[in-house]
Amino acid sequence: MNFIRKIAEGKSDEWAKRQFTRYGMGTYEQKALLQITKGKGKGSISSGFEFAPDFAYALAESVKTKVHVSGGIITTQKISEADAGFPFAGMKQFAGVKTYLIDTDLTKAQIQGLFGKYPSGLVLLSFKTESGELKTKVKSPKSAKPGNKENEELPKADFCSFKTTDMSIIDDYAFDVPKDFTKAFIMHSFVIASLEIPKQYEKDFALARLHAIRKGKLIREIHLGEKKVGKEYTLTV
C-alpha cells in the first residue's frame, strides 16, 4: 500500500512518516504527482520522486533470483560497500551531498533492504522484471514546475516512470478513482496545521523533526479529462 493511501485510510506508519520529515507547519501544494494510464492487463504511472521507494519495493516482489539494477543512493552519509552488500559503480559528490552509483545485479531482499538501511537518503532505482519496469532519475529532486492556473496547465510528473502488468498496483494508487477510468492525473496538497513533539525530543532539533507528529489535511485533486474531483482526508503522520 502506497503512503498516500495509508494516510487516507488512517494507517500511517514509519514508511509514510519518512515522506514528511522535511515539512514544518504550512501548506505544501502540488506534491506527490501521479499520471496514471490504465489499459487491458497493463498500466503505467509517471510520478514525482516521492513514489520512487514504493515503486521499487513493489516491483522487487516479482524478482525471482537476481535482476540488474541501476541508479543511486543520494545521502550526506558515508556509505561503505560492505554495509551496502554490493560494490558501487562510482561516487559523485557536490556540496557535501554524495551520490553512490549502482550498476549491479541484486536480489529482492537486497533491493528492499536498501530502504531500511538508508531511511534518510534517497534510494533511486531502475530495473525490469517479468511484471514491469521502473525508470527513476538519479538526481536530487526539485519542486515540480508548477502548472499555469490561468489556463489550467498541470505540473509535470516525470521523475519516475513505472510500467506494470500487476493491476493491483495500479488500483492501489487509484484507490479512490472510479474503476472505469483510463487516464487520471492526481496531485496532493499537504496542510500541516500542528506539530506534536514528544517530550524526550523537545531539546534536540534534528530528532524533533524526525519524530514530530504532523496533523492537518491531505487534499487529493483528481483530474479525469475535463472533470476535476477534490477529496480531503485527515492527515496524521
Looking at the predicted structure, is the pLDDT value of residue 32 above 90? yes
What's the pLDDT tens digit per position in 145-169? 555 555 568 999 999 999 999 999 9
Mean pLDDT of 8-20: 93
For residue 5, with 0-12 CB atoms within 10 Å meaning exposed, 13-18 middle and 19 or more buried, which class applies?
Answer: middle
- Which grid coordinates are listed for 105? 545485479
Q: What integer best gives the mean pLDDT of the chain?
A: 94
Looking at the predicted structure, is the pLDDT value of residue 12 above 70? yes
pLDDT value of position 146? 58
Q: Could you give the angle at which helices 108-117 and 52-60 cross, rounded to 10 degrees?
A: 150
Looking at the predicted structure, is the pLDDT value of residue 143 above 70? no
Distances 234 to 26, 27, 31, 81 between C-alpha atoms, Å:
15, 14, 16, 41
Distances 212 to 7, 18, 25, 54, 201 between C-alpha atoms, Å:
16, 11, 11, 22, 9
Question: Which residue stretches of 174-231 are H helix?
Answer: 205-211
Among residues 181, 230, 187, 153, the alpha carbon closest in space to that of 35 is found at 187
What's the pLDDT tens digit per position in 164-193? 999 999 999 999 999 999 999 999 999 999
- CA 142 distance to own-chain centroid: 14
Question: d(Cα 214, Cα 235) in Å, to the nearest integer?
Answer: 7
Amino acid symbol at 122: L
Domain range summary for the chain, segments of one domain joined by +: 3-236
pTM of the model: 0.90
Strands 160-164 and 26-38: unpaired
Sorting pLDDT into bands at 50, 70 and 90, what band is 206?
A: confident
Question: d(Cα 99, Cα 36) in Å, to the nearest integer?
Answer: 29
Contact of 61 with 130, CB cutoff 8 Å: no
Sorting pLDDT into bands at 50, 70 and 90, what band is 142?
A: confident
Looking at the predicted structure, is the pLDDT value of residue 17 above 80? yes
What's the pLDDT tens digit per position in 63-107? 999 999 999 999 999 999 999 999 999 999 999 999 999 999 999
More confident residue, 149 or 10: 10
Mean pLDDT of 40-60: 96
Task: Tell me which DSSP letter residue 140 carries.
Answer: -
More confident residue, 151 or 9: 9
Question: d(Cα 63, Cα 107) in Å, to the nearest integer?
Answer: 7
Strands 67-75 and 183-196: unpaired
The cell 532539533 sits on which residue? 205
- Which grid coordinates are listed for 222? 483528481
Mean pLDDT of 182-206: 95
